[in-house]
Amino acid sequence: MISVSVVDDDRMLLDGLSAWLSQVADLRLGGVARTVAELLEANPRPGDVVVLDLLLADRSDPADNVARLVAAGSRVLVVSVAPQAEHGIDVMRAGSSGYLTKDNDLETLTAAIREVAAGGTAYSPELAFAWSRDADPDRPRLSAQERAVVMAYASGMTLAAAARRAGVQPATAKKYLDRVKEKYGRSGRPTYTKLDLANRVREDGLSRYPH
């Protein structure tokens, strides 16, 4: 059973999505909210997957919203009315595991939720195109798991604490950190120490921690 929460300020969409998810056997709706702050206040661990509207009425930063939810232990599937290349790249860098436009049908959304919950990714073709035109080739592309571990570890946590925050075993967290260092090395930006990792988090705009 996959637990799903939804953050969107469109009441009609929330009601429709809630009704749809109630008919899907392997998905359980955990909570709905109009803002990320509201969701996390009601449930600090909001579930396996959070379906997050890209642009909310409270004008919160999309990447910051994603980072907060990832830090809370959830995988994030961002949805938006139209493809937003710049925001789309930002939320991917912040740890989103997926990005879909709302013109996809609910079956596509359900399939994307399952893919994200299983540790995969689900992105609209428009965002893949935007990534191909990214002007920062020296910035490694980190998976959501790698990002969650490196952000926690670089913030000052021990490896064990970072692993707990990311919901993985310490040995797995170490593999993620080693992989991140390897990626930075291949991009010409050697990263050996925790201070190096903290600098990369800052340099690449990953340091969007919950306030």
Domains located in the chain, CATH noted = 2-132 (3.40.50.2300), 144-203 (1.10.10)
Is 120 exposed, middle or buried (CB count within 10 Å of its CB: 0-12, 13-18, 19+)?
A: middle
Structure confidence at residue 210 (pLDDT): 34
pTM of the model: 0.62
Give per-residue pLDDT as tens, 68-92: 999 999 999 999 886 665 677 778 7
Residue 209 binned pLDDT confidence (cut-offs 50, 70, 90)? very low
Token pair for residue 210? 């919950």
